[in-house]
Structure 1
């Protein structure tokens, strides 16, 4: 299909929200007939809507084959943005229903939730007491996926580890806001608390750790793999740093946690940072947001609490 010159304002403005959701139905059903059945319309109507969509975009969005239809690379790229647009429409409806109480969807990783997020939200409360922040705490990979899909307006998190050629999700801006380092911690009464253990000694003890896939566990795997050893035996898996530290303080378990969390609980729980053979290098904490949030007054105020102008 030829790629006509832009702007194509007239064609785009003629599209309906139902047309924009068509690609998602096609990706799910793989058949225009099944799409028509799901939408309770005729197949010619679906074909006509798809043709109008492709004319508006100026590229082929769907491959038509004997076994059905599938999205082209252009269609996949468009669908990623259209899913975000659908969620933005939902957010717009919520905003219209409660204009006096502006809302913001903020995600945080467990590490960012220890210090920088509570401080920022306290500042926001003083500046905009009527604001409604919906706070979601989850793992770093899930946060970045939710931000990319438009489920969250902004996140405070560790910077994700990107592979070669990978970039942050489209439409997302990333700004550094601080650092935090992970340390190994144990109860003061732990056999290793007053020593500088070797990697094999650390591997001989049991641990309480976050779930596999978390950055803390990935870092621990890297540390042990350098010594040619597998991850040590995990007795308890928990995604709460506070819970892990309390469990370590109550018994003979080692754990990995942000240094801020260990320092905050050290005195009350009787914890100690273990001197390990590897350096405890700080990792970067970032504030990332969708550019579509820039017009949200709550977001502008919150960004000022994280990032100095």
Structure 2
């Protein structure tokens, strides 16, 4: 019987899985990325017969068909996609182990993903706390959008994330991630001190069309949160004059150019303290979100990741543990 055919109805055996090598596991990822067994074999420096044999061994070990041949080369079956979701975490952990041991293996490495605003307020205080305790790990920090960070975490490229979530997002991630809530945040509308809205109170959504606006690009978490109240009230959201993903660039340009922008309150605090910008006093504040610490649910967190979590919880608790609320000036 053909091994691949037998694999369709076979039961996965631990002894067969134990005989697999790391390159067996990488095969699925390479086919998913490159679209064919031939291309995967070239990356692995294997001949076509050798890569075919490797696939047969992989499917026999897992007891199901993992790759479907197509006229264009090959694609993962549904079972292959489910297997790769798990295996990417394993492959990421293997790669992380190699990276951690490459230099200063005595100090643990934490691959941290974060939103840029975290590096201005929360992370520096957590780093200072861990350094004072003598337990600061090596940090490999990656900045990205919320969606980008979540994808990197699920692919095993990160050990943890510090980011912002809305309530609905937290519900969707609950099955695949461990979420530690650090504190609540809200989204603030910000203007230059000389903007016509700077001195007004009780500002409605319709007043915000005065602009001009600097906004994050479409598809980002903040842009979605900003546009939703307009759509819910039957209005078209303002069209930005400038699109930029950097909160800090946006706030600096707002201060210098008489613009409006939107930013989490934590990003705003530094600029407002120096009187560079003013928070627009809205009649109804934009939705609140949560600053959270996220780790994969599929694997146990290393001790260094747990220590980073504890430090972040401690420093955000110093903020009072209360939701950040819009300031109302009278």
TM range (shorter): 0.7 to 0.9
Asked if residue 110 in structure 1 is aligned to residue 112 in structure 2, the reply is no
SS at match of 1:21: helix
Question: After superposition, where does 1:233-244 map in structure 2 within 5 Å?
Answer: 233-244=239-250
On the 8 A contact 1:158/1:285 being kept in 2, the answer is yes
The size of the alignment, in residue pairs, is 305
Mapped partners of 2:263, 2:34: distance in 1: 44
Q: Scaled by the length of structure 2, what TM-score is found?
A: 0.81
Structure 1 residues 239 and 30: CA distance shift in structure 2, 3 A: closer
User: Which of 257, 264, 267 matches 2:273?
Assistant: 267
Asked if residue 299 in structure 1 is aligned to residue 288 in structure 2, the reply is no
User: Which of 234, 238, 251 matches 1:232?
Assistant: 238
Bigger shift: residues 144-153 or 200-209: 200-209
**CA offset at residue 153 of structure 1?**
0.6
Mapped partners of 1:92, 1:177: distance in 2: 28
Mapped partners of 1:65, 1:240: distance in 2: 42
On the 8 A contact 2:23/2:44 being kept in 1, the answer is no
User: Which of 253, 261, 279 matches 2:259?
Assistant: 253
Mapped partners of 1:36, 1:116: distance in 2: 45
Asked if residue 13 in structure 1 is aligned to residue 11 in structure 2, the reply is no
**CA offset at residue 12 of structure 1?**
1.3
5+ residue gaps, structure 2, are 1-7, 315-330
Mapped partners of 2:42, 2:279: distance in 1: 61
On the 8 A contact 1:104/1:132 being kept in 2, the answer is yes
On the 8 A contact 1:293/1:299 being kept in 2, the answer is no
Question: After superposition, where does 1:166-185 map in structure 2 within 5 Å?
Answer: 166-167=172-173, 170=176, 172-185=177-190
CA-to-aligned-CA distance 1:68-114 (integer Å, 9 cap, x gap): 43321110111222233222212111222331222111111134334
On the 8 A contact 1:140/1:160 being kept in 2, the answer is no
CA-to-aligned-CA distance 1:120-169 (integer Å, 9 cap, x gap): 22222222355211112221111111111111110011126768x95457
Mapped partners of 2:167, 2:136: distance in 1: 36
CA RMSD after TM alignment: 2.7
5+ residue gaps, structure 1, are none
On the 8 A contact 1:153/1:293 being kept in 2, the answer is no
Partner of 1:87: 92
Q: Scaled by the length of structure 1, what TM-score is found?
A: 0.86
On the 8 A contact 2:167/2:289 being kept in 1, the answer is no
Mapped partners of 1:266, 1:31: distance in 2: 54
Asked if residue 220 in structure 1 is aligned to residue 216 in structure 2, the reply is no
Bigger shift: residues 233-242 or 213-222: 233-242
User: Which of 282, 289, 295 matches 1:289?
Assistant: 295
